[in-house]
Amino acid sequence: MKFNSQKSSTRQTENHEGAKAFVMNPEMQLYTAVVTWSLNDTFYEKNDERLNRVRTLITTCDPLFVARLAVYARHKMYMRSAPLVLLTELARIHSGDNLIARTTEKVIARADEITELLACYQLLNERTGLKKLNRLSKQLQKGLSAAFNRFDEYQFSKYNRSGEVKLRDALFLVHPKAKDEAQQMLFNKMAENRLETAYTWETELSALGQNDFENEFARAEAFKSKWEELIDSNKVGYMAMLRNLRNILQAGVSYGHLQKVCEIISSAEKVAKAKQFPFRYLAAYRELQTGIQVTAPHFSEKIRSLLFGNAGYTGDLLEALEKAAAHSAASMAGFDQHTRVLLACDVSGSMQMPVSPKSKIQLFDIGLMLAMLLRSRSKNVVVGMFGDKWKTITVPKNNILANVQEFYKRTGEVGYATNGYLVIKDLLERKVIMDKVMLFTDCQLWNSSGSPEHIHALWIRYKREIAPDAKLYLFDLRGYGQSPLQLVQHDVYLLAGWSDKIFDILNALEKGRTALQEINSIML
């Protein structure tokens, strides 16, 4: 099968820094481009450039692989937008069977993704207006029809929002066949704009914000009570709670309610179900660490006591987040005390860019977070970071988020180039034997010193002279399409993505399988 190899070709190219690199095959390029794509500009590539690259790659890959990649990206990598782009583009070029319908049904996991897919289809096919959307791919229509049958009134109501394409528009475009009388009644309500407003934390707080209050104290008390009611109702989703920890703390809710929040956040079962990117825990951790503003002279003493009296409880929430991060790594295999592991994090300038315009998380944070998750599951580990220099840093095993913060504070110590070759050069010079060497990087490695030393040649030397059984793993966090080393040869492997599920690919590689084989095992 063409998917059984992840080899790069022997053809050399140059990366974005002008350094020697190797061309990956189209399937590997598409995989890495998709699972590291936030639909925003990156350091070296504008979003439109990546979209065009993805479109071209789709035409060169087997349609079945593209379909499986869409499902993999949605359900394994927790991505929402990129799988819809894959579906839309695949529907443009593929026909003659029900592959698009089957893939669409599997990719759509939330009610709002029905309208998101239609909006994506409209945008990428340059169709404006709902009348032109009536020329919808028949197989896409069949897949969306099946997706309509999976959601109840609450799920539809929760995502019944204004937008370019509304749920009511989608209903008329797709014409889903109701599975029973109850669902037909639901479709009728949707058609007649009679869906009830769902009880969600957003609608409740929004409604409360429209009220007139006698004074600031009454307003603060109302929001405190509302947050406590929402926490008790269990209607605040896990991600919403994660993003609102500081707001909840600052609302002045009771200690009992904060304890309930901690229990939810740190629950192993809820962490598993929530399927959050690991960096979400880091974002919440940092938000809490910024502290609650306690100097508010324009507020009365009563209001200050209500709004800022919970600052001392911050430690409980930080501890809950550490537990949650640990639970997110619980399914990872890790390595035992006999396996010598080196984790090297790229903190160069190209890695110090937000993953999206509104995010405070930078790309190197993702690498640090993934490295610390793996460090927590392994016994014999050395961890470090590289820029102009390569430096190892000793950190405790279990404090995942605190360890990331320690590295974050010290990134300037190594400079901002991308001298990943120094990691291997150091092992060579000190004759250190490692079983696994792992680089978390955007793969745009180069040598800023001007010397001819390159990581590819150094790794071959290291294998020949020091550690013949060593393996090198490149965790590609940006998917630009080139590898700094030739893959598979000399035990060099590449895997990509921002989710903790990236370690499932690592486990597969350890068992002799490849990233592409894992994707190709997805059932449609």
Domain count, the chain: 3
145 in the same domain as 75: yes
Residue 488 has pLDDT above 90, yes or no: no
Rounded CA separation 105/93 (Å): 18
Q: Is residue 18 part of a domain?
A: no
* Domain C-terminal end among 146, 172, 191: 191
In this structure, the answer to whether residues 303 and 378 fall within a common structural domain is: no
What is the per-residue pLDDT for 296?
Answer: 46
User: Cα-Cα-Cα-Cα dihedral of 365, 368, 373, 377, to 10°?
Assistant: 180
Asked which of 191, 213, 233 is the last residue of a domain, the reply is 191
pLDDT, residue 483, reads 95
- Residue 297 token pair: 């002279």
Residues 30 and 114 in one domain: yes
Question: DSSP assignment, residue 491?
Answer: G
Structure-token pair, residue 383: 């961890």
Same domain, 242 and 366: no
User: φ, ψ for residue 57 (rounded to 5)?
Assistant: -65, -35
Q: What is the model's pLDDT at position 374?
A: 96
Are 364 and 483 in the same domain?
Answer: yes
For residue 198, what pLDDT band results from cuts at 50, 70 and 90?
A: confident
R_g of the chain computed on alpha carbons: 25
Q: What is the pLDDT of residue 213?
A: 79
Tell me, yes or no, whether 141 and 255 share the same domain. no
Residue type, 364: F
- Take residue 170 and report the two structure tokens written for it: 């989608």
Q: What is the mean pLDDT of the chain?
A: 90
Please say whether the beta carbons of 174 and 149 come within 8 A: no
Q: What are the start-end ranges of the E strands in 334-470?
A: 335-346, 378-386, 390-392, 436-441
DSSP state of 313: G
Mean pLDDT of the 168-176 span: 93
Question: Which phi and psi (to 5°) does residue 496 adopt?
Answer: -140, 155
CA-CA distance, 244 to 381, in Å (whole number)?
Answer: 34
Nearest to 371 by CA among 332, 337, 339: 332
Query: What distance in Å separates the CA atoms of residue 392 and residue 371, rounded to the nearest whole number?
Result: 13
Task: Give the tens place of pLDDT for each residue, 232-272.
Answer: 998 899 999 999 998 898 888 999 999 999 999 999 999 99
For residues 55 and 178, state if they share a domain. yes
Regarding whether 239 and 181 lie in a shared domain, the answer is: no
**Residue 226: inside a domain:** yes
Q: 20 phi and psi, to 5 degrees?
A: -60, 135
CA–CA gap between residue 180 and residue 149 (Å, rounded): 10
- Check pLDDT > 70 for residue 219: yes
Q: Look up the domain containing 390 and give its range.
A: 333-520
Task: Tell me, yes or no, whether 507 and 362 share the same domain.
Answer: yes
Is the pLDDT score of 3 beyond 50? no
**Cα distance between residue 493 and residue 439, in whole Å:** 11
Say if CB 273 and CB 242 are below 8 A apart.
Answer: no
